[in-house]
Amino acid sequence: MTNRLYYSDPYLTWFESRVVSCIPQSDTESIVYLEESAFYPTSGGQPFDTGTLGDLEILDVFVDDSGDVAHRVKGTLCPGQTVTGQIDWERRFDHMQQHAGEHILAGCLHRSFGGHTIGLHLGHADSSIDVELPGGATRLSGDELRFLEDEVNARIQADLPIRCWFPESEELAALPLRKPPTVKEHVRVVQIGDDEFCACGGTHPSSAGQIGLFKLTDARPSKGKLRLTFVCGKRANRLFASCMDTIKSLSAIFSVPQENLSQAAEETVKKLKDAQYRMEKEKARRAMELVEGDLKTASEGTAIVKRLFDGLGTDALLEAANCVSSRPGAYALLGSRQEQGTLLLFARSQDAAGDMGKLLQACARRFGGKGGGRPDFARGSVPDESALDWAEETLRQSLDQ
């Protein structure tokens, strides 16, 4: 069984060990077992360490079915040889910061809100925990989230000591663990300060101050639980720097101090909505003018008004169609170019012949769209605006028969 060096020293980045076995997996990869290893295997929501074994790149580290640590490497090693392991320290310490930050967060949740943390997902950009709250609640208020964040950062700033050890059974039974261990033997406990005790096999810094900074980035319901997303340490620093860059850029764009950005954004959005409303009203007015002009120039009897508009909304298109269909013997074949294709709306007056629903269905089938409706009214969408020409030709042919 591999002696896991990271248990006793998570700061160890270099070690030597003897190769116990090397099992080829392909022409380029193999699984290596060592007498002892400082590489952390994926477990408990914390990803594996990367680095090198000798000159070989570490591709994965995991615990096999027998409970031993397996190293998947690019290349092969000889059983019995002594190799040097080199840990990617930046990745390791990042994981230590995130994992310790999660412990403090989970402890604060438990003490303040009775939350029970299901597990940790430590991702490349951020980390998250799913939390069971009393009564099946899936949300915390903004004030409660700010309280949590302040509580975690207060413990980090206090630089609380972090202790990781394997207590004897009697000592373990007396510890106020936040939740029961998932294993029965060789239980490792992480203690942060005087009020956070949890069974955990991960790597952690020796004091909370090394976490640096904690920031909640999202809180939302997920599968009946509360999911909290967060960043710690350098990740939080990078997030803060990115946010400041964005704020400075927006402040320059709006030509206002940073503290007035929200007001400036709200005013700009209102102006844009007002301008869009006026533009839509003008488009609708112009559309009505065009179809009314088409009706005036149409010959006596049957009148087919075909029009393709740019970005005309559904309500305006419907109003234009109603204008056409209110005249006896009239047909409206109207379309509007949209970002996702062409919106179609077919209508006819009550005394006119033909089935607009069937016409639109046939048009949609032919041009890979969708839609349908009643004999006097139908609507749908197609990716090809030439469908409107086909619909007009089909309608005229049916009327000539």
Indicate the SS3 state at residue 130: strand
Stretch 360-386: mean pLDDT: 93
- The residues near 159 (Cβ < 8 Å, ≥ 6 apart) are 207, 208, 209
pLDDT at 9 over 80: yes
Residue 210: count other Cβ atoms within 10 Å of its Cβ.
Answer: 17
Cα separation, 336 vs 342, in Å, equals: 5
Residue 16: count other Cβ atoms within 10 Å of its Cβ.
Answer: 11
Percent of the chain with pLDDT over 90: 91
CB 227 within 8 A of CB 129: yes
Q: Which is nearest to 6 in space by CA: 171, 177, 188, 211?
A: 188
Using a 10 angstrom Cβ sphere, with 0-12 exposed, 13-18 middle and 19 or more buried, the burial of residue 335 is buried
Q: What is the amino acid identity at position 160?
A: L
Confidence grade of residue 298 (pLDDT, cut at 50, 70, 90): confident
Stretch 208-232: mean pLDDT: 97
Q: In the chain, list all ranges with CATH 3.10.310.40.
A: 284-400
What is the sign of the dihedral through the CA atoms of 65, 68, 74 and 78? Answer: negative
Lowest mean pLDDT segment, chosen from 152-156, 295-299, 319-323, 381-385: 295-299
- pLDDT of 302: 82
Which tens digits make up the pLDDT trace of 369-378?
999 999 999 9
Q: What is the amino acid identity at position 28?
A: T
- pLDDT of 29: 95
Cα separation, 267 vs 264, in Å, equals: 5
**Tokens 């005394």, residue located:** 351
What is the sign of the dihedral through the CA atoms of 15, 21, 25 and 26? Answer: positive
Topology (CATH) of 3-87: Elongation Factor Tu (Ef-tu); domain 3 (2.40.30)
pLDDT at 171 over 90: yes
**Over the range 279-315, which residues count as b (16 or more CB within 10 Å of their CB) and which as e?**
eeeebbeebeeebeebbeebeeebbbbbbbbeebbee
Lowest mean pLDDT segment, chosen from 67-71, 84-88, 98-102, 326-330: 326-330
Which tens digits make up the pLDDT trace of 233-279?
999 999 999 999 999 999 999 999 999 999 999 999 999 999 999 99
Alpha helices, DSSP H, located in 190-336: 233-254, 261-297, 314-325
Q: In what order do the strands lie in the sheet with 196-199?
A: 162-165, 189-192, 196-199
Return the CATH class of domain 92-249. alpha beta
Return the CATH class of domain 284-400. alpha beta
Confidence grade of residue 400 (pLDDT, cut at 50, 70, 90): confident
pLDDT at 299 over 80: no
CB 122 within 8 A of CB 47: yes
Residue 214: count other Cβ atoms within 10 Å of its Cβ.
Answer: 29
pLDDT at 172 over 90: yes
CA distances from 321 to 263, 306, 338, 385, 394 (A): 41, 10, 18, 18, 19
Stretch 158-178: mean pLDDT: 96
- pLDDT of 182: 85
- pLDDT of 89: 98
**Over the range 65-80, which residues count as b (16 or more CB within 10 Å of their CB) and which as e?**
eeeebbbbbeebbeee
Q: In the chain, list all ranges with CATH 3.30.980.10.
A: 92-249
Stretch 359-371: mean pLDDT: 94
Cα separation, 126 vs 229, in Å, equals: 7
CB 197 within 8 A of CB 181: no
pLDDT higher for 298 or 371? 371
pLDDT higher for 299 or 175? 175
Rounded to the nearest integer, the mean pLDDT of the chain is 94
- The residues near 292 (Cβ < 8 Å, ≥ 6 apart) are 323
Q: In the chain, list all ranges with CATH 2.40.30.130.
A: 3-87
Percent of the chain with pLDDT over 70: 99
